[in-house]
Copies of this chain bind each other. A is one copy, B any other.
Amino acid sequence: MKIGILGTGDVGQTIGAKLVDIGHQVMLGSRSKVHEGASDWARQVGEGASVGTFEDAARFGELMFCCVGGAHALAVIDAAGADNLADKILIDVSNPLDFSHGFPPVLAITGTDSLGERIQAALPRTRVVKTLNTVANSVMVNPGMFGEPTALFVSANDASAKAEVIKHLNDWFGWNGVIDLGDITSARGTEAWLLLWTRLYGALGTGDFNIRLVKKSEAKPET
């Protein structure tokens, strides 16, 4: 499949490299046509990897990822072009983190709104699916590192897009038991999780962690 990725940072490079590795063609999009980091990435990843502008990537991809920093996401979506993203699935991995107060960050969007919702509102002809934003990029493409299933969530208005993305997450990266949180408003929950995630990152000293949901009904009898 031809996959376009908006963003050339660690998240975009990690997801892109994995997708090329399993046989897809991937274009990383950046602000400018010439982007040293993205070009280095494409050379290193080899055949199947290419680079371009946000607009180029949006035209290229049959399916899209949004992997830019949350502060830039809406401007990047605008640069990519709503027409180029129409009738496609956009997997939104971004989080509205505001680092202006230092680390840990605060949320730039709260209350009855989320970045996922703003992106969906900006792209009414695109099926936005929020997922993967709750884990480090190392975990996104390799949940097998834990040796046991851990939790991942999807939020989207379109049920068929959600089902398709859940299948991709399994086929591409090995995610099992992905939890359907509901419509795109449930992105408020996963984006807010980053405030605890960043504290855990500090306490644990690594981003190579995730959570597993434990329900009473699944448990052994009480002792």
Chain B proximity of A96: nearest CB distance (Å): 12
Q: A181-B199, A192-B192, A215-B206 are in contact. Are A147 and B221 (CB under 8 A)?
A: yes
A36 on interface, CB distance cutoff 8 Å: no
- Quick check: is A145 within 8 A (CB to CB) of the other chain? yes
Chain B binder among A27-35, A66-74, A103-111, A162-170:
A103-111
Q: Mark A91-121, 1 if CB is under 8 A from B, else 0.
A: 0000000000100101100111000000000
Q: Given contacts A144-B222, A219-B145, A223-B144, are A199 and B189 in contact (CB under 8 A)?
A: yes
Interface of A is mostly: mixed
Number of this chain's copies in the complex: 2
- Total interface residues in chain A, CB < 8 Å: 51
A200-218 interface bits toward B, Cβ cutoff 8 Å, 1 = contact, 0 = none: 1011101011111111110
- A39 contacts B by Cβ under 8 Å: no
